[in-house]
Amino acid sequence: MPNNSLGRPTVCFIDHDALRWNMRQIRAKVGAKIKILCMVKANGYGHGATAVSQTLTGSGADAFGVATMEEAVELRQAGMSAPIIVLAGVFPDQLGELISNELVPVVYDVEILKQLDAEAQRRQKTLGVHLKIDTGMGRLGVLAADAKEWIAELKNLRALKLEGVFSHFSHAESVEGDYTRKQLAIFNEVIAQLRAQVLAPPLVHFANSAATITMPAAYFDMVRPGIMLYGVYPSAAMASQIVLKPVLSWKTKILQLKKVPSGASISYGQTFVTKRESLIATLPVGYADGYSRLLSNRGAVLVGGQRAPIAGRVCMDLTMIDVTDIRNVQQGDEVVLLGRQGPAEISADEMAAWTNTISYEILTSVGARVPRIHYNT
Ligand SMILES: Cc1ncc(COP(=O)(O)O)c(C=O)c1O
């Protein structure tokens, strides 16, 4: 792992060999014929979208998925030439930029379909789109139950080219349940209707990470893995099915080390009062870096290969830890917030459990103030 010489030592290290490894596992799972759309929305799940996409391009990514047009333009400007699908909303006034950057928006409602088609016709341009079908996620998408109506509209399109059709599972951590099977059955029914009318596009897709790992019936032409690319399992049980390597680790260094007497109050609001003479370390990281305030008096970090609990409230820029029980701690020592140190590890899942959230939110919440240092092992 490279040395951080940027000054403030609170940084994320992004392991591109681990990223390549995870991509190889996905390819091995799905085989050579299924395309892989790599989800790099939200700044590559917090890892740095451009750098991650460059590495994934070299590892055989067939397409990229982002949430916003701005995220897509960033990738195009960085030289990514693969198809980029904009998944979380399209607005008619974005048409010019979508066309000039060869981006593929997702459409999810008949009105938008018509508006985009009219606007593209007016400009005498064509635009490829993917149609999202709501099979039970209850989010974006035309309702499968309304298929007759929107299939009729598909026949009227002049300037829009239907390149893909897809859906999204409601369950991201496991796809073993009845509800998932029901979603898949509804989707298969819609695809059959499209095929019957010779309207099925070349790319049919459904699988998130969980389905990529455990549900080949949901592969169709392309899978859309996100969290597993970054080395995090959709659920702990899936570790027996595929070996993934965490890509991100988050580190800092001890800023100040202080011996305080018993009865000393640490941080805002006196929520932590020492019960003995204690050694308290102050770290240059806080909730403005995305280090959740919910970790106050709950989370832990790694120092010298051991766990040290967070003492008192996480502040905006600083956090205190109790290192009384760790030997030979020095000012400037490395502290791991997320990742490995010797035999010890704090995973995104563990941190998520401390803050009552999911690994996705942990990774995507690391702030813009924290530099990402990209490296190969
Ligand atoms: C439409 C869509 N497809 C695929 C994914 C990837 O899901 P996962 O990260 O669980 O693999 C997401 C993530 O939220 C998504 O919104």
Residue 304 falls within a domain, yes or no?
yes
Closest approach atom of ligand 1 to CA 208: 11
In the predicted model, is pLDDT for residue 229 greater than 90?
yes
Query: Residue 39: CB within 6 Å of ligand 1?
Result: yes
Residue 282 falls within a domain, yes or no?
yes
The residue among 208, 232, 256 that closes a domain is 232
The residue among 199, 232, 265 that closes a domain is 232
Which residue type occupies 324? Answer: T
Query: Residue 168: CB within 6 Å of ligand 1?
Result: yes
Looking at the structure, tell me whether residues 56 and 198 fall in a common domain: yes
Active-site residue, 275 included? no
- Indicate the pLDDT class of residue 92, thresholds 50, 70 and 90: confident
pLDDT tens-digit series, residues 169-209: 999 888 788 999 999 999 999 999 999 998 889 999 999 99
What is the DSSP secondary-structure string of 211-246?
Answer: HHHH-GGG-TTEE---GGGGT--SSGGGGGT-----
* Tokens of residue 217, six digits: 């019936």
Looking at the structure, tell me whether residues 203 and 317 fall in a common domain: no
Residue 165 falls within a domain, yes or no?
yes
In the predicted model, is pLDDT for residue 5 greater than 70?
no
Query: Residue 106: CB within 6 Å of ligand 1?
Result: no
Strand-by-strand arrangement of the 278-283 sheet: 256-260, 278-283, 319-322
Cβ-proximal residues to 145 (8 Å cutoff; 6+ apart), any chain: none
Ligand 1 centroid from CA 7, angstroms: 35
Looking at the structure, tell me whether residues 257 and 189 fall in a common domain: no
Full domain range(s) for residue 163: 16-232
Closest approach atom of ligand 1 to CA 225: 11
Distance between CA atoms of residues 287 and 191, nearest Å: 46
pLDDT tens-digit series, residues 30-53: 999 999 999 999 999 999 999 999
What is the chain's mean pLDDT, rounded?
A: 96
Q: Which of 155, 133, 153 is nearest to 144 (CA)?
A: 133
Looking at the structure, tell me whether residues 156 and 268 fall in a common domain: no
What is the DSSP secondary-structure string of 49-106?
Answer: HHHHHHHHHHTT--EEEESSHHHHHHHHHTT--S-EEE-S---GGGHHHHHHTT-EEE
Is 346 in contact with 337 (CB distance < 8 Å)? Answer: yes
Residue 355 falls within a domain, yes or no?
no
Looking at the structure, tell me whether residues 282 and 334 fall in a common domain: yes
Query: Residue 88: CB within 6 Å of ligand 1?
Result: no
CATH number of the domain at 293, please: 2.40.37.10
Active-site residue, 291 included? no
* Tokens of residue 163, six digits: 């390149």
pLDDT tens-digit series, residues 291-337: 999 999 999 999 999 999 999 999 999 999 999 999 999 999 999 99
CATH number of the domain at 102, please: 3.20.20.10
Nearest CA to ligand 1 atom 13: 226
Residue 185 falls within a domain, yes or no?
yes
Query: Residue 16: CB within 6 Å of ligand 1?
Result: no
* Tokens of residue 346, six digits: 């704090």
Looking at the structure, tell me whether residues 78 and 213 fall in a common domain: yes
- Indicate the pLDDT class of residue 57, thresholds 50, 70 and 90: very high
Nearest CA to ligand 1 atom 8: 226
* Tokens of residue 59, six digits: 């590892």
Q: Is 43 left (phi over 0), alpha (psi -120 to 50) or beta?
A: left
Looking at the structure, tell me whether residues 152 and 220 fall in a common domain: yes
Query: Residue 164: CB within 6 Å of ligand 1?
Result: no
Which residue type occupies 157? Answer: L
- Cite the beta strand spans of 110-176 per DSSP E: 127-134, 142-143, 160-166
Ligand 1 centroid from CA 39, angstroms: 7
Give the predicted TM-score (pTM) of the model: 0.95
Catalytic residue among 114, 125, 245, 268: 268
* Tokens of residue 225, six digits: 């893995």
Looking at the structure, tell me whether residues 285 and 202 fall in a common domain: no
Looking at the structure, tell me whether residues 65 and 210 fall in a common domain: yes
Q: What pLDDT score was predicted for residue 173?
A: 86
pLDDT tens-digit series, residues 203-214: 999 999 999 999
Looking at the structure, tell me whether residues 226 and 257 fall in a common domain: no
Catalytic residue among 29, 35, 41, 132: 41
Number of domains the chain is built from? 2
Residue 328 falls within a domain, yes or no?
yes
Cβ-proximal residues to 171 (8 Å cutoff; 6+ apart), any chain: 177, 179, 180, 210
Ligand 1 centroid from CA 344, angstroms: 30
Looking at the structure, tell me whether residues 169 and 290 fall in a common domain: no
Looking at the structure, tell me whether residues 226 and 92 fall in a common domain: yes
Residue 363 falls within a domain, yes or no?
no
Residue 5 falls within a domain, yes or no?
no
Is 246 in contact with 339 (CB distance < 8 Å)? Answer: yes
- Total Cβ atoms within 10 A of residue 123: 13
